[in-house]
Each structure stands twice: as C-alpha cells, then as structure tokens.
Chain A
Amino acid sequence: MPIWFELMILLLITYAFGLALGWLMWSAAGADDKGMKS
C-alpha cells in the first residue's frame, strides 16, 4: 500500500469526523430553525 494512499485514508477519516462534528454543532446551535436552511 503506497504511503500517499495510507495518508489519504487517514485524512478522509479525519474529514468525515470533522464533517460529523460540524453538522452536530450546527444543528445543536439551532441554525436549522433560524432560517439558514432554504
């Protein structure tokens, strides 16, 4: 397995975690209810 591929898997996992955390914080802040959605 090439090093860049291992790095990619690691970064993709970090990215997915970041997205999940961001979405959680966004929905917890109630941004959904304040009309920030279309």
Chain B
Amino acid sequence: MYTRPSIPLLTGALLVVITAFIGGAISGGEMASRLGNDAKAAAAALNAPTIQARFTTLGGWPTRHPLLSGGQDLSEEKRAKAAMAIASIPGVGGIRWIDGSIMAQRDIAPLTPMHCQDDVRALLRARTVRFEESSTEFDPNSLELLDEVSAALRPCLGSIIAITGHTDSSGPEPGNIELSLSRAQAVNQALIRRGIPADGLRARGVGSSMPVEGLDPADPANRRIEFSVIATVPLAPTPVDTPGPR
C-alpha cells in the first residue's frame, strides 16, 4: 500500500515536536533551577550576591540563557566578573543583562585615546627616515619605513599630523631650516602618495634648533623626521551628506 510520503514525514516531525515539548516540560524546570542555584552560588562566591540570574524566559518557560539583573551598587569590573562566572557554569547558554547589553557594560565604552602617535614613535625608535646627504632624496631603506608609518597613521585619519624635519648643526642655520623643511615636505608628499589625505598633514622644518635630548647638536643622529598627532578634527556632515526633505 502506498501512502503519500509527506504524511508520515510530517507526522514524524510532529511527534518530534511533541517529544521535545514533553521532554522540556519534564526536565526543563529541574535543569533551570539547578542552574539558578549554581548561578547564585557563583555570584555569592564573588561577593556579588545582589546580582540575580533569572532562568525563565519572558513567557515563563525554563531556559538555559539567564537574564541578569541587579548589582547596580557594584563596579563594572565586578559585574563583568560575576557575569563571566555565571556564563562559565556548565550548561548555561549565553547571558545577557536586563538592560539589553550582552556583557557587563551598561554605559558607553570610554573612547580609547588614539595611539597612532605611540605606534609611529615605536616604529621610529630603532629606525629613522634617512636622506641622502644635503638632499631631499630618501635613502632606499627609508621607503619601507614610510610604508609602515603611513599604515600606522591610517587609524588617525581626520587628525592633524605634524611632520617636523630636523638637521644637525653642521652648516649654516638658514640653510638647515630650509633643508629640514624640504625634507619634511618630501615626507609629506611620500605620505600623500601612500594614501594619507593632504589636508591632515602639516610639514615644518626647525633646522638644528631642537636637537635630540642628550645629544651633541652636531651629531648626525639629529637629522631626523618626527611625527606628532597634534589635533583631532571632529567630522561634521556636509549639507551634501544630509539631503533635506523633497
């Protein structure tokens, strides 16, 4: 006898759903209350007994995904630790706070300061942008360094980046200032060619007036290029970005 295959298939699926429902009803409540006790113990162990973990859904069904609440009197760090402790109980699924945040944070995360200047400084600690003597031509090894510097500056796009050229004290000072400025401008152009917008770059030359601390002004190590992130320009939308109603 042939029956349409869809009928037994759907009957099987329905049986599966019913089995799951009955199985969940039998073991779900017990499982949720065990997880609830474990969560309470975990919170108490971290001196955060005010944190409540609710192992029921909004519809009242037992669940493995607790909704955390309370603990307003505690620091964010303590809340985060308690949340992690509850999340790491075997059997607990994802956790979330009652205010909707997934982890412990309630407030907007503090803005991390831009660290591109530190990155650039770290790059230039051991190496430096070098030039041919009395020239604005880059030393071939410096081109690779410039690639790395432009990559390190990329997260700070929108900021004003100052490029300062320095020389040693050999040679007359007016010439030194001119040379340091043209070297800074050469670096400026090199960065523009590597995709850093020109309007965020400022080149200046100070000649030999600012030698490296602790170095003799005549030391060739004073010939260098320094980068500093001097200002952050907030991005404001232009009228083109925000069309008005038609």
Listed in ascending order, the chain A residues whose CB lies under 8 Å from chain B are 1-8, 10-12, 15, 19, 37-38
Contacts and interface: CB of A to CB of B under 8 A. Distances in A.
Interface of B: 2, 9, 12-13, 16-17, 19-21, 23-25, 27-28, 31-32, 57, 59, 61-65, 93
B9 A2 contact: no
Contact of A2 (B12, B17, B28): B28
A5 B57 CA distance: 12
A4 B65 contact: no
B93 A1 contact: yes
A2 B61 contact: yes
Given A8-B20, A8-B21, A15-B16, A3 B2 contact: no
Contact of B31 (A3, A8, A15): A3
Contacts of A3: 24, 27-28, 31-32, 61-64
Given A12-B16, A15-B16, A38-B2, A6 B21 contact: no
Q: Do most interface residues of chain A lie in helix, strand or loop, or is the interface mixed?
A: helix
Nearest to B25: A4
A21 B132 CA distance: 74
Given A2-B61, A4-B25, 16 more contacts: A1-B57, A1-B93, A2-B57, A2-B59, A3-B28, A3-B61, A3-B62, A4-B23, A4-B61, A7-B23, A11-B16, A11-B19, A11-B20, A12-B20, A15-B12, A19-B12
5 contacts: A4-B24, A7-B20, A7-B23, A8-B21, A11-B16
Nearest to B60: A2
B14 to A, nearest CB: 11
| Residue from B19, B20, B57, B63 having most chain A Cβ neighbours under 10 A | B20
Contacts of A37: 2
Contacts of B24: 2-8
Contacts of B9: 19
A11 B19 CA distance: 9
Nearest to A16: B13
B31 A4 contact: no
A7 B13 CA distance: 13
Contacts of B25: 4
A2 B31 CA distance: 11
| Residue from A4, A6, A8, A10 having most chain B Cβ neighbours under 10 A | A4
B13 to A, nearest CB: 7
